[in-house]
Amino acid sequence: MNVEFVLNGRRVSAIVDADDSLYKMLRSLGMHSVKCGCETTNCGLCTVHMDGKAVLSCSVPAARCAGHEITTLEGMQEEAARLGACLAGEGAEQCGFCAPGLMMNVFALAKENPHATAAEIDAFLAGNLCRCSGYVSQRRAIMKYLEQVTGEVRA
C-alpha cells in the first residue's frame, strides 16, 4: 500500500506492507538516525515526532501515518547541533547509539516544558534508556540546553 505523509517538512510517499512499522518505513526512506533497540516499547531509541508528539516508531503502524507529519533528527539538524554540543560538553555520551532517540524526546520536553526541573527532566525522559552514561551527565547537558532555549540561568 502507498502511504503519503510529511517527513521533515517535505511531502513524501512510501510503499509499505500492512504490518510495517513507522520505524521500518523511515529507515527505508534513509532516515538512519532512527534506531531500533528493544522493539518492545521500552528503550526509546526509535523516538520520532508524530504531529509534534514524541512516539515510539517501532509501535506506530506505517499505514497510520497517512496525512500526518513525521519529524526525525534529520529534520532538526540545527537543534541537534546545539543539544549535541551540550551532551559532548558534559561527557554525556559514550557509544551514542541512544542519542537520536534521547534528543528527539528532549526536543519534545523543550517544547512542552522548557522550564523543567531536574525531577521533571528525569520523569519525562524515563523512557529513554542508556547503558553508558549513568544519566547524571545527560541530565546536566539537558539542563544546559534548556538554559539556552529559555535564556534562563539555572542555579
Partner 1 sequence: MAKYKNYVLAQSLEEAYALNAKKSAVIVAGNMWLRMCGLSKQMAIDLSALGLDKIEEKEDAFLIGSMTTLRQMETHGALNAAFGGVFREALAPIVGTQFRNTATVGGSVFSRFGFSDVSALLLALDAQVVLFARGAVKLSDYQQEAWDRDIITHIRIPKGQRAAVQSVRVSATDIPVLVCAASVSDAGLRLVLGARPARAQIVVEHLAPDCGAETFEEIAARTAFGSNLRASEAYRRKIAPVLMMRAAKACREVTQA
Q: How far is the CB of 124 from partner 1 (least distance, A)?
A: 5
15 binding partner 1? (CB under 8 A): no
Using alpha carbons, list the distances in angstroms from residue 70 to 8, 96, 130. Answer: 6, 23, 24
Site mask for partner 1 (CB under 8 A), range 57-96, x = bound = --xxx-xx-x------------------------------
116 binding partner 1? (CB under 8 A): no
Between CA 44 and CA 15 the distance in angstroms is 25
Q: How far is the CB of 45 from partner 1 (least distance, A)?
A: 10
Residue matched to cell numbers 546545539: 82
Footprint of partner 1 on residues 24-63 (CB under 8 A)?
Answer: 39-42, 44, 47, 53-56, 59-61, 63
Quick one: which of 71, 105, 133, 138 contacts partner 1 (CB under 8 A)? 105
In degrees and rounded to multiples of 5, residue 153 shows phi and psi of -85, 125
The DSSP symbol for 31 reads -
- Considering Cα of 125, then 34, then 62, then 43, what sign does the dihedral take? negative
Toward partner 1, which CB reaches closer, 118 or 123?
123
The DSSP symbol for 152 reads P
Size of the site for partner 1 (CB under 8 A): 29
